[in-house]
Amino acid sequence: MSATSTTGPATSPAASPVTGVGHLLRLVLRRDRLRLPLWLVGLGGSIVASALAVPPIYDTPEKVAGYARTVGTSPVSYLMSGRQAGLDTIGGIVANEISQVAQLGVCLMVVFLVVRHTRAEEESGRAELLRSTVVGRHAATLAGLVYGVTAALLLAAITTTSMLAADLPAGGSLTYGVGLALLGVAYTAITLVSVQVSTSARGALGLAGAAVAVGYLVRGIGAMQDNALVWLSPFGWAQGMDAFGDERWWPAALLLAFTALLLALAARLVAHRDFGGGLLATRPGPPRASRLLHTPLGLAVRLQRGLLTGWAVGLFLLGVLYGAVIPTVPDLIASNPDMADVVGASGQAAEDALVDAFLAYIFLFMAVVACGFVVASVLRLNAEEEAGRAEVVLATPVSRTSWMAGTTAVALVATAGLTVLMGLGLAVGYAVVSGEWDQVLPQVGGQLAYLPGTLVVGALAVALFGLLPRGAGVAWTAVALVALQVVLGQLLGLPDWVQAISPFWHLAAVPTDDFEVVPVVVLVGIAAALVAAGLWGYRRRDAVAG
Amino acid sequence: MAVIELHDVVKTFGTTRALDHLDLTVEQGEVHGFLGPNGAGKSTTIRVLLGLLRTDSGTVTMLGGDPWHDAPTLHRRLAYVPGDVSLWPNLTGGEVIDVLARMRGGLDEARRREMLERFDLDPSKKARTYSKGNRQKVALVAALASRADLYLLDEPTSGLDPLMEAEFQEAVLELKDEGATILLSSHILAEAEALSDRISIIRAGRVVQTGTLAQLRHLTRTTVIAETDRPATGLATVPGVHEPELHGNRVTFDVDSDHLDEAVRALSGLGVRSLAAHPPTLEELFLRQYGDEVTA
């Protein structure tokens, strides 16, 4: 060859800020060759199953009309799925039924995948190795963007295909899929900004996760009160495309403009920050450890402080928001007399029944959300062990049992604390709007009635860690299954024995149904047995290193 | 009395055999160098001693107890520095030192202050901002600031600069003077040479040589460099002489220590103008031990 093959970078035509993005993407796809398909199969599978399950259930015009009258005017449905267009058609019903799984799913998927390949890589130092090769400053961000967009498009394609397979109108199916994809793209952009802001992967996950929660809540409350609040949320814009209704396309432009704005911001932040740095600077800390840090329990509390604070604030606010909408639930009866027939009562009794049903669902929903905390908290054990930090503690006189019990105790006690906090949030939200403070005890008590289900999920994670160190991540699958049972169990007509796998299925639907002691005792017993199994298993196995 | 005694220890991970009938004895009050290339089984041995890994077969005794069953009790008397130090990113270095030392059962305040100063470590920085060398220092200070009978040090100086390395060597010799036993794993031969009373060389999961430096040298060859009046062409036929290299009147060769006499006599017949001989360095011991791979 000639001497030009050795030209330096100054004259090399390839030295652009995004050089190397192809290599990065190939690496991302190689590393996630199992992870991405699992997300798509898990979420896509639930969506396909739901889309195919709906039409046979609503097989007469009367049944479709019934859905529009009942579910289509239910406050819970507004809060959880927004105001879906075309609820008097099969397409609208399918869209409404899958919306929670599809919309929240696509957002959480891109948040986890994008943080994993951007800030987490940078924090671990692996990205530094890559940046020392011929890789441009913006290449990692672009690779994250392409990856997030690809994942969102694939999920949207699965969704649209499954709608077409269920013989739904092509226009609506396409519009819905585009809305879903653009929602995922918008949250990809939000995630790319949050990974610039925080220097830790956990912090970035927290920021982006909070953005998902806020967007979802704002849309839900806006839909419930039928006001312009929905237009402050990307969820609202995606739904505003009115798939299976008017099918308007201008909200798509809104999503795209929002995405472009955030991407420009992310690019600006990348260009102005140091590698490994963020906007939130790390400050010096105390040179001595406080008295609290003497024991494995104290250390576990300290290590989980950030996680716990974030969840406490988030869940309390979630409670306040849900509590604040309780007083508006009875209004829905006034606007829809058929609702009274559904709840099988009239007048005050109907209002009370409706509020109770609403509360029962909120309690259950928040208890399932708390499963996310308890599993994240317990799996810190796994993270500590794999990073080699467990090893240094276990090289001191601290026994394996007391090390593991410290974190387990923090996780389970904190879960109980968060449950009380969620109940308090509901009561406070309710009181602020209604001016009545008499609901504190019933609402804290009601929320606590669902705690045993959350504890069983946490205890399962403890058992998995002790018995199957490499498989402890399976606990997240348990959270996903429990959430699916709660959201889709009835729709999919899952047989009882399948639904019975979820601990929540066994609990009384307080306050609609009376509190039952037996399932609570049984579930707490199961949780205790799982924790004991985990502690026993961890005394017998090798401590994993590296 | 032996502080550490592993006998015929086997440990497998799946199909890989990490420890293959390993024997190792560390006596009370000695600095024992534990040498081997990467992946030879040094860290696995130390993790077995910490009771983190359960052996498939063989017997392990440490400080008179069984590390798997009595780990917490035995750990009151030992301090450990891991090879690859990972710290809690949101705790400061000072906090990490306190946490570990207190969990170990107590902190010598004066020693903590002294070690922080000697290793020039800022304890108020968050662990995530420390460099590799500074993380290593945190682990070292945490171990050295508490008094122990046994110190397990797994490649403790990786990432330290030469100044800090010297400081570390001095600290280890002080510990030894106080009567502590130290197992020092390393692939840095100079470090083991400077500190160790006895050395064990591990390779592919088994200890292939063990002894004092003098004993190990006895097993090996002396390097001789000589200048003679007449070229030393006939040296290759002298028993025990290996690979003589001739450059005019200058010759370099290795000779088995028990054949040194014959070699020197052969040289003196040629008229010696200058003669230099040195005992094998650990590098050379090492090269011989792994020579088949190095020359292959």
Confidence grade of residue A334 (pLDDT, cut at 50, 70, 90) = low
In the structure encoding, which two tokens stand for residue B249, read together?
A: 């009147």
**Per-residue confidence (pLDDT) for residue B99, from 0 to 100:** 86
> Distance between CA atoms of A64 and A168, rounded to whole angstroms?
14
CA-wise closest residue to A419 among A384, A445, A390: A445
Neighbours of A13 (CB within 10 A): 6
Q: Per-residue pLDDT for A229 more than 70?
A: yes
- Closest by CA position to A458, among listed A497, A429, A423, A416: A416
Q: Which two three-digit tokens encode residue A94?
A: 């399918």
pLDDT of A494 higher than 60: yes
Number of residues assigned to chain A: 546
Q: Is the pLDDT of residue B67 over 50?
A: yes
Contact A465, A411 (CB under 8 A): no
Higher pLDDT, B60 or A296: B60
Residue A224 has pLDDT above 90, yes or no: no
In a domain, A403, yes or no: no
Contacts of A284 in chain B (CB under 8 A): 92, 124-126
Q: Which residue of B has its CA nearest to A285?
A: B124
* A476 lies in some domain: no
Q: Which CATH number fits domain B2-216: 3.40.50.300, 3.40.50.150, 1.20.120.1770, 3.40.50.970?
A: 3.40.50.300
pLDDT at A69: 82
Alpha carbon of B217: minimum distance to chain A alpha carbons (Å)? 35
Cα three-residue angle A517-A522-A526, rounded to 5 degrees: 150
Parts of chain B belonging to CATH 3.40.50.300: 2-216
Hey, how many other C-beta atoms are within 10 angstroms of the C-beta on A160? Answer: 23
Whether B60 and B246 have beta carbons less than 8 Å apart is answered as: no
Note which residues in 22-61 of chain B have CB less than 8 A from chain A.
43, 47, 50-54
Size of interface A-B (CB pairs under 8 A): 117
Of the pLDDT bands very low, low, confident and very high (cuts 50, 70, 90), residue A459 is: very high
pLDDT higher than 90, residue B255 = no
Question: Which contiguous run of DSSP H or E holds residue B200?
Answer: strand B198-203
Residue A159 belongs to a domain: yes
Which of these ranges, A114-123, A180-189, B235-244, has the smallest mean pLDDT?
Answer: B235-244
Cβ-Cβ contacts under 8 Å, A393 against chain B: 100, 103
Other Cβ atoms less than 10 A from the Cβ of B238: the count is: 18
The domain in which residue A239 lies consists of 18-276
A508-520: pLDDT as tens digits: 998 989 999 999 9
- For an interface test with A, give the residue of B44, B95, B131 to mutate (most A CBs within 10 A): B95
pLDDT value at residue A5: 45
**Residues in A touching B86 (Cβ below 8 Å):** 387-389
Question: Shortest CB distance from B76 goes to which of A393, A397, A540?
Answer: A397
CA A280, CA A269: separation in Å to the nearest integer?
A: 12
Question: Average pLDDT of chain A?
Answer: 89
Q: How many CB atoms lie within 10 A of CB A272?
A: 10
**Can you give the pLDDT at residue A545?**
57
Nearest CA in chain B to A201: B89
Please report the ipTM that was assigned to this predicted complex. Answer: 0.74
The confidence score (pLDDT) of residue A404 equals 95
Sign of CA dihedral A77, A78, A82, A83: positive
- For the segment B177-230, what is each residue's pLDDT rounded down to a tens digit? 999 999 999 887 778 888 999 999 898 899 988 988 777 766 667 888 999 898
| Cα(B92)–Cα(B135) distance, integer angstroms | 11
The tokens for A35 are 């992870």
A154: confidence class by pLDDT, cuts 50, 70, 90: very high
Q: How many domains does chain A have?
A: 1
Interface of B with A in 80-99 (CB under 8 A): 80, 82, 84-92, 94-99
Average pLDDT value for residue range A409-435 = 93
The more confidently predicted of residues A275 and A8 is A275
> Is residue A209's pLDDT more than 80?
yes
Cβ-contact B58, B213 below 8 angstroms: no
Tell me A543's DSSP state: P
For B104, which of A282, A396, A543 is closest by C-beta distance? Answer: A396
Positions of CATH 3.30.70.260 in chain B: 221-279
The pLDDT score that the predictor gives to residue B38 is 83
Say how far apart CA A413 and CA A427 lie, in whole Å: 21
DSSP string, A466-516: HH-GGGTTHHHHHHHHHHHHHHHTTTTT--HHHHTTSGGGGS--TTTSPP-
The residues pairing with B207 across neighbouring beta strands, listed in sequence order, are B202
Tell me which of A6-15, A112-121, A485-494 is least confident: A6-15
Q: Residue B59, SS3?
A: strand
**Does residue A341 surpass a pLDDT of 80?**
no
| This prediction's pTM | 0.80
DSSP-derived pairing of the beta strands B198-203 and B31-35: parallel
A240: Cβ–Cβ under 8 A, 6 or more apart, which residues? Answer: A230, A231, A248, A251, A254
What is the per-residue pLDDT across B23-36, written as a single tens digit (0 to 9) for each? 999 999 999 999 88
Quick one: pLDDT at residue B271? 87
B79, B146 in Cβ contact below 8 A?
A: yes
- Size (chain B), residues: 296
From chain B residues 136-165, the ones with a CB under 8 A of any chain A CB are 139, 142, 152
3-state percent helix, strand, coil for chain B, nearest multiple of 5: 40, 30, 30
| pLDDT higher than threshold 50 for residue A4 | no
Chain B residue with CA closest to A386: the answer is B86
- Say whether pLDDT at A10 is over 50: no
Yes or no: domain B221-279 corresponds to CATH 3.30.70.260: yes
Angle at CA of residue A349, ends A344 and A352, nearest 5°: 105
The average pLDDT across A431-449 equals 89
The pLDDT > 90 percentage for chain B reads: 45
> Is residue A181 very low, low, confident or very high in pLDDT (cuts 50, 70, 90)?
very high
Q: Cβ A294–B102 below 8 Å, yes or no?
A: yes
Has residue A264 been placed in a domain? yes
